[in-house]
Amino acid sequence: MSSTRSWIALDLLPEVGPKTVQRLLAVFGSPESIFRAAETELRSTEFLRPSQIRSILVGPDEARVDEVVRALEKVRARAVSLMDREYPAALRAIDAPPAVLYVRGSLEDIEPAVAVVGTRSPSVYGKRTAFFLARDLSLSGVSVVSGLARGIDREAHLGALEGIAKTVAVLGSGIDTVYPKEHEDLASRIERAGAVVSELPPGTKPEAGNFPRRNRIISALAQAVVVVEATTRSGAMITARLGLEQGKVVMAVPGNVTNLRSQGPHHLIRQGAVLVERAADVIAEIAPSIASTLSRQPLKQPGSRTDEILNMASSSPVTIEEIAQHLGIDVSEATRRVSTLEIEGSLERVTPNRFIARDVHG
């Protein structure tokens, strides 16, 4: 059995969830070793229930693995295991990460990223706010993560598609089951400009219990969660809570006080969430973490020195895309470098995606 098939088989085991998989991997090191373990070894772990031990001893369901592989091929998807290089580091760091992420598109260079979430039945104000917030974040080189649901999620993805950074849709169903069905074309556009992902194996229906699990992935993939219109008891508020537990920055867009959909964001703001009016507010909050990420990374290109960026921006404003192209680096790296220069005060943002050297601009 290939490594990928072993991971899929492990993911499909009845009775064994992500937290148990994580503990098993800590003991045995790989799916293959887990399936080879003797009953005495499994019992000696002391955390496995009898039903879980029986499930592991039965071994891989080869027929079901075949079904999953065929379903993935049909929708041009693949299984990305917890140990694969492509698996997002931010997702790997959470409690009980998915053993396998089913992916359409590419998860490369999705950082920095911000989750934009909210109600499925937004007002016109909410739709416009989500669209333009996501568009301006993307134009600034920040990826947008959301859940492909109706309403705010849809507007966030559409806005991000107007920019230059990636957008990621996280499903509460199998990777082969887009929900709602009318978003299949949108999912295809997102796949070409980022990724559609799910922790649920192909064939999984969009049942209500799947969406809270989905929400923890949305928040995990982002450095911040922005709520645009939501009632106090909603999936978007669950995402905000999960983000807070994961150490993410939680933000909210204020709204009309007579609108029930404003109750969620206003509650978050009263609890200390950052009030957001525009993309620049979001970027200002996540800039320190972008700079921290940059400080831990080696330069990818000899020509990506900060003085070259300042030289480019010395006479007229330049965009992140122009900087990336000139220096031969990707947009996400250019975004991190520009954010560092903003924090230092060397660059000034004159529009959502145009920057000028501060000593020239005042």
pLDDT in tens, 18-63: 999 999 999 999 999 999 999 999 999 999 999 999 999 999 999 9
338-354 pLDDT per residue, tens: 877 876 778 888 876 78
End-to-end CA distance of the chain: 64
- Helix residue spans in the chain (DSSP H): 3-11, 18-28, 31-36, 39-44, 50-58, 62-74, 89-92, 124-139, 152-161, 184-193, 210-220, 235-245, 263-270, 279-295, 306-312, 320-327, 331-344
Give 136-173 pLDDT, tens digit per residue: 999 988 999 999 999 999 999 999 999 999 999 999 99
Instruction: For 246-270, write each residue's pLDDT tens digit.
Output: 999 999 999 999 999 999 999 999 9
Average pLDDT over residues 232-245: 95
Set out the domains of the chain in order of their start, with CATH numbers. 3-74 (1.10.150), 105-284 (3.40.50.450), 297-357 (1.10.10.10)
- Whether 360 has a pLDDT exceeding 60, the answer reads no
pLDDT in tens, 314-324: 888 998 888 88
What pTM was computed for the model? 0.84
Write down the number of H helices and E strands in the chain.
17, 11
